[in-house]
Amino acid sequence: DAKTTQPTSMDCAEGRAANLPCNHSTISGNEYVYWYRQIHSQGPQYIIHGLKNNETNEMASLIITEDRKSSTLILPHATLRDTAVYYCIVTRGGGADGLTFGKGTHLIIQP
């Protein structure tokens, strides 16, 4: 699976959009981009995934660049409960293989 690079931490004001970047310059054509998050002392929570098109669901939007070498997870109206570690994972096997979790981005939502 391709390696990803994420900032270690980010701050965002409550009510604003949180934009979390992820670089995956070695991604191959059949690899998906998945995002999970882990709120303190809970299990990881699936957020969204995509192959090349932008995706949106009730939690977030995923924007993937045309060359697929980077992506951005957007939480449109961040709340304090969105404070968590966010993991960007690129995987050929899809979500159902042994996912490799890096260190992720610690997103802190400020009141």
Partner 1 sequence: NAGVMQNPRHLVRRRGQEARLRCSPMKGHSHVYWYRQLPEEGLKFMVYLQKENIIDESGMPKERFSAEFPKEGPSILRIQQVVRGDSAAYFCASSPVKGNNSPLHFGNGTRLTVT
Residues found near partner 1 in the complex (CB under 8 A): 30, 32, 34, 38, 42-46, 49, 51, 92-104
Residue with Cβ nearer partner 1 (28 or 110): 28
Residue with Cβ nearer partner 1 (42 or 58): 42
CA 87 from centre of chain: 5
Residue with Cβ nearer partner 1 (54 or 101): 101
What CA–CA distances, in Å, run from 16 to 23, 46, 74, 84? 23, 22, 10, 16
| Distance from C-alpha of 12 to C-alpha of 17, rounded to nearest angstrom | 8
Nearest-approach distance from CB 43 to partner 1, in angstroms: 4
Nearest-approach distance from CB 7 to partner 1, in angstroms: 15
Nearest-approach distance from CB 79 to partner 1, in angstroms: 20
Nearest-approach distance from CB 111 to partner 1, in angstroms: 26
In single-letter form, the type of residue at position 14 comes to: E
What CA–CA distances, in Å, run from 106 to 16, 20, 26, 78? 17, 10, 23, 14
